Structure 1
Amino acid sequence: MSELLVGLVVLPIVGAVLASVSSWVHPRSGWPLAAATLAVQTVLALWVTALVLGRGRLDHAVGRVPPPFGIEFVADGVSTPFVVLVAGVSLALAAYTRVAGPRSGPFYGLYLLLVAGLTGVCVTADVFTLYVFLEISGLAAYALVARAEGGPAALAALQYLLLGTVGATFYLLGVGYAYVATGTLNMADMATQLPHGSPLAVAAFAGIGVGLAVKMALFPLHVWQPDAYEHAPWAVSALLSALVSTVAGYALLRLTYTVFTVGFLAANPLVDDAILLAGCASVVAGGALAYRASSVRRVFAYSSVAQFGLATVGIGLGTVPALVGAIVQLLGHAVMKGGLFVAAGVVAARTGATSVDEYAGVGARTPWAAGSLVVLGLGMVGLPPTVGFVAKWYLAVGAVEAGSWPALTVVVGSTLLSLSYFGRLLQQLSLGDGEERPGTLPVGDGVGGADATGGHGSVSTDGAGDDPAAISLGMRAVAVGAAVATVVLGVGAVAVASFAEPTVVSLLEP
């Protein structure tokens, strides 16, 4: 059954090829193929979860070449939730794109290629193969941002490409230093041979850490993120915000405690302090930038800087509750932030509102989307019974257990920071007087045939205009589903924590 891990990576790659090629014959075949592929992907991910529940761990040597010489895929209590997250969120957002767009064959080819890369990052046990999967997902992400027409989208994609390349270069340098120090690329083998006090080990962690910090968009390496989120199609913004930086956060946690281990952090306390400082700085700076932002998309983007900072704080604290809190934070943020972009996309399509000031009173015109925004916003603030509250609770307990009072202050203070900017948005939704304005019609990528508003043109639309009928049931369902999942995950977060905790405990063993 361990072959399922290979299937999780190969299936979306095959689907990407089919979606791209089939569009030459039938322009509308991309979405059905992508939806079917992601449905099977989700079933496989849940199957792997069931196997991990029964066995505790799955590992597979690709090509039957045993590690450390061959490439190994692994699923355990930490990686499996992220595999399920990638599959489930991708499937849900595919439902959103059916009407919202973009929806051409090449778009879904890139979409599935991104899923393949992110899934590979989650299951690989080889540091160089992780780099390959990071680059596959990165290249797909750059191209997806550029699917929106216009100069700003192209410039945002170029900026994302340049900074992403810098991050990948730092990561690869770190891998090179680690290989020189150990002579292996397998994570488990590298952990046993890495000299903790060696300058090479510190240089390796610095390179890998900086590279993943760029991918996570931690302050001050976040500068690619606001423009990418602002100018990409709404569906792409939701996909990037939910998954790309989340999986990079998983990679940072995995490499820190699987490759470098607690022994390395104990031997180099300044490294641990640097992780905590980076996380705390991101929380504070991200919250301040989100408060000053006027565009809804930029509010969400800077909020992500703060939220990934919280996860980094958990990684730096290095206690069982803190690492569990980091995992729950990453998973919960993915659901909530993806849902926020989806709900905001529905609002923009229905009312044309894209700034905080323009949200005045639009709740009455888009009750389902506005209700979802309220629940998701409260989740981001961290109010019970949402998953945001549970994540912050675990992080706070972890900070107390580690005796890190500055980290505890940042975790608790992050709630007030989040309330300052999400409260402003939610207040506009409920208290302002809505001004009638036409829905937005940003152009997606053309596929021919009927567009989202029922006309016949050469392009599809990323919005759905002011016609409520053009806002599909799938678009509303994804927004409402994310809000429901925010509460369900909050109530069931203990089960997720129990699933991950045995693996976390093993990672923290000296």
Structure 2
Amino acid sequence: MSSAELLLPLLIAAPLLAATLPIVLGLWTDRTGWPIAAVTTTGLFGAAVALASAVYTGTDAAPITHELGGYPRTYGIQLVADQFSILIALLVTAVATGVLVYTRQGGPRGNTFYTAYLLLTGGLLGITLTGDVFNLFVFLEITSIATYALVASGDGPESAVAALKYLILGTMAASMYLIGVAFLLMATGTLNMIELATAIPAAERPTLIRAGFGFIAVGFATKVAQWPLHTWQPSAYQQAPDGVTPLIAALVSTASAYAFGRLIVTVFGVDYLTTMPNAATIVLTIGCVSVLAGTALAVIQTEVKRMLAYSSVSQFGLVIAAYGVVIAGSSETAFIGAAIHLIGHGLLKAGLFLGAALVARSYGARTVDEYAGLAKARPVVAGAMAVLLLSLVGVPPGVGFVGKWYIALGAVQSELWPVAAVIFLSTMLTLAYAARLLEKMYFTPPAALDWPRTTEPVATDGGDTTVSIGMLAIVVIAAVGAVALGFAGGTIAGLLEPFLMEVFN
């Protein structure tokens, strides 16, 4: 067994086991959670980099796999790292490590918070690396339970209500997915993704396969926060503590969107779904409607965190629409766009919500109008947020432009002109709400709104009021990363090529 193969179970087991340490050590001393989380996530990032090196520089294009307990994948549990999944693993570990730079001083504090933090990280890595559709459900539930707890850790009853709404809708989504998995098991007799890919086209009861896909699609539409099943997301993002929102906004729906894409190309297969009645139409409709609804709702928001939350509804709609293009036109280009957009959006939203947390922490500013004059008062934070917002719009060379370009190009190549029109319209609407925030930061005098609202910094999330160099640096790094990934779009496409050759040929 190679060292790279051993890294697969360790990436999942390490954070889940480390999650017990803050509570156990908390019996003797307070605030041991942050150093445990920092050491664990830093180690996870290093392990993900080592695994990525093995995946991308290997002598062949075969994925790295590990069968737990040595049992064959037919009835055992398999973990898989390939050119697609390792990109998400790198994103999860990088963001989980970076957000800790903020929580060190900005909070939330307490050992129980870091237990949930590590539990969430382990669940996300499990979603990313599992090769079994039932264990995907298990890791989705681990992720969801940790997220409910993190959202509810905010101050006031609003956080508890937001967590309850998320719990209800999240449980319904998980149930839908599990019913779909049950139909697949009934039709094929297996739960392994690779075995399913072989068994589904030969299944004697295709009606069960179609029903399974329908339930899975609805479950993931809720998990990814697609309109009109999105209502949990704006409340969760807004009411969660400022140190929690960047983590869940960047990773939770991203992992679910990745999982849905994984099932489309690996389990059901593009060729099979192309022949399934209305499969492409359903996925395209869900994505395109969410793109338009999310951007329209973002434009009318006054709270910055809520505006960015509705923006995520739209951005994930682009990813789902790209999956629809993949099904309708067997488009490799659209799939590359979906993968780049997933990575880019995760980085952009982590940076934007961290920037919003710094502004709220220093000035108590949470609405768009309260951002007036921010560029003059804090040019570093304003500049980083401006870069991130422009990339979100799709201004080159930001990564947001690259992802949209590949998706739109795939739609044009497949002659799906309405999808290309939706992408163009959503870009204009995204510019509308991004321009509102930029105008307030750079062109509205602070005196016009009696800025600042208070002469004293505002403590949030149980932390002190200090804004450290590290907290500023992590937002700047996110902005620089957004531009760097924009230039690296072709490189990412090249890294995905062995995976694309396997699933599209």
TM-score range, shorter chain: over 0.9
Displacement after TM superposition at 1:153 (Å): 0.4
Q: 1:280 aligns with which of 288, 301, 307?
A: 288
1:474 aligns with 2:470: yes
Residue pairs, 1:316-335, within 5 angstroms: 316-318=324-326, 319-335=331-347
Q: 2:436 aligns with which of 397, 401, 424?
A: 424
In 1, distance between residues paired with 2:445 and 2:24? 49
142-151 vs 495-504, which deviates more?
495-504
**In structure 2, distance between residues paired with 1:128 and 1:34:** 28
* CA contact 1:78–1:504 (8 Å) conserved in 2: no
Q: Secondary structure at the match of 2:453?
A: coil
Select the residue among 114, 121, 131 that pairs with 2:120. 114
Query: Is 1:153 the counterpart of 2:169 in the alignment?
Result: no
Offset of residue 325 of structure 1 = 0.2
- Residue 359 of structure 2 contacts residue 365 of structure 2 at CA under 8 Å; is this kept in 1? yes
Q: Which amino acid aligns with 1:243?
A: L
Given residue 179 of structure 2, which amino acid in structure 1 is its aligned partner?
L
Give the drift of 1:289.
0.1
- Paired AA for residue 158 in structure 2: P
Residue number in structure 1 paired with 2:197 = 191
Residue aligning to 1:76: 82
User: Does the alignment pair 1:14 with 2:26?
Assistant: no
Q: Does the aligned pair in 1 maintain the 2:26–2:32 contact within 8 Å? A: yes
* Paired amino acid for 1:413: L
**Amino acid of the structure 2 residue aligned with 1:83:** A
Q: Is the deviation greater in 75-84 or in 19-28?
A: 19-28
Whole-Å separation in 1 of the counterparts to 2:439 and 2:144: 36
Aligned letter for 1:104? G
Distance across 2 between alignment mates of 1:440 and 1:406: 48
Letter in 1 for 2:491: A
SS in 1 for 2:79: strand
Match of 1:342 in 2: 354
**One-letter amino acid matched to 1:34:** A
- Could you say what secondary structure the match of 2:83 adopts? coil
Contact 1:92 1:478 in 2 (8 A): yes
Q: How does 1:13-52 map to 2 (within 5 A)?
A: 13-52=16-55
1:443 deviates by: 5.1
In the alignment, the residues of structure 1 paired with residue 443 and residue 273 of structure 2 have an alpha-carbon distance, to the nearest angstrom, of: 50
Q: Deviations over 1:332-371 (max 9, x none)?
A: 0000011000001111111111011111112222211111
Given that 2:384 and 2:476 are in contact with CA atoms closer than 8 Å, whether structure 1 keeps it comes out as yes
Per-residue deviation, residues 126-177 of structure 1 (Å, max 9, x unmatched): 0000000000000000000011121000100111111100100000000001
Which stretch shifts more, 354-363 or 124-133? 354-363
How far apart are the structure 1 equivalents of 2:34 and 2:268? 42
8 Å contact kept, 1:324–1:501? no
Amino acid at match of 2:291: V
- Indicate the residue corresponding to 1:490 in structure 2: 486
The structure 2 residue matched to 1:395, chosen from 407, 414, 436, is 407
Say if 1:213 and 1:442 are closer, same or farther in 2 by CA, change over 3 A. farther
Whole-Å separation in 1 of the counterparts to 2:23 and 2:400: 38
Q: 1:299 aligned to 307, 310, 319, which one?
A: 307
Does structure 2 retain, via aligned residues, the 8 Å contact 1:386–1:490? Answer: yes
Code of the residue aligned with 1:99 in structure 2: it is Q
Partners in 1 of 2:379 and 2:198 — Cα distance?
Answer: 56
Report what 1:454 is aligned to: none
Contact 2:288–2:422 (8 Å) recurs in 1: yes
Give the whole-Å Cα distance in 2 for the aligned partners of 1:501 and 1:424: 39
CA distance in 2, matches of 1:187, 1:347: 45
SS at match of 2:488: helix
C-alpha separation in 2, matches of 1:154 and 1:443: 17
1:25 Cα deviation after fit: 1.7
Match of 1:452 in 2: none
Once residues 486 and 288 of structure 2 are traced to their aligned partners in structure 1, the CA distance between those partners, rounded to angstroms, is: 24
Aligned residue among 238, 247, 252 for 1:239: 247
Q: Is the 8 A contact 1:320 1:505 kept in 2?
A: no
> How far is the alpha carbon of 1:36 from its aligned partner?
0.4
Residue 98 of structure 1 corresponds to which residue in structure 2?
Answer: 104
TM superposition score normalised by structure 2:
0.95
More divergent stretch after superposition (294-303 vs 496-505): 496-505
Pairing of 1:166-185 with structure 2 (within 5 A): 166-185=172-191
Query: Paired residues, what number?
Result: 488
CA deviation after TM superposition for structure 1 residue 24, in Å: 2.3
In 2, Cα distance between the equivalents of 1:141 and 1:441? 25
Asked whether the 8 Å contact 2:361–2:460 carries over to 1, the reply is: no
**Structure 1 segments unaligned to the other structure (5+ residues):** 445-459
Greater Cα shift, 265-274 or 298-307? 265-274
Q: Secondary structure at the match of 2:475?
A: helix
The one of 305, 314, 319 aligned to 1:311: 319
TM value normalised by structure 1: 0.94
State how far apart, in whole Å, the 2-side matches of 1:158 and 1:48 are.
37
Tell me, in whole angstroms, the C-alpha distance in 1 between the residues paired with 2:266 and 2:396: 32
Paired residues of 2:106 and 2:460 also in contact (CA < 8 A) = no
Q: CA deviation at 1:440?
A: 6.4
In 1: Cα distance, 2:210 partner to 2:458 partner: 50
Structure 2 residue runs of 5 or longer lacking an equivalent are none
Percent identity over paired residues? 43
The one-letter code sitting in structure 1 at the alignment partner of 2:102 is: Y
SS in 2 for 1:233: coil
RMSD: 1.2
2: CA distance between counterparts of 1:177 and 1:111?
33
Is the contact between residue 148 and residue 443 of structure 1 (CA under 8 Å) also seen in structure 2? no
Q: 2:269 is paired with a residue of what secondary structure?
A: helix
**Of the candidates 474, 478, 499, which is equivalent to residue 503 of structure 1?**
499
The counterpart of 1:437, out of the listed 434, 447, 453, is: 453
Task: Please name the residue that 1:254 is paired with.
Answer: 262
CA distance in 1, matches of 2:251, 2:415: 32
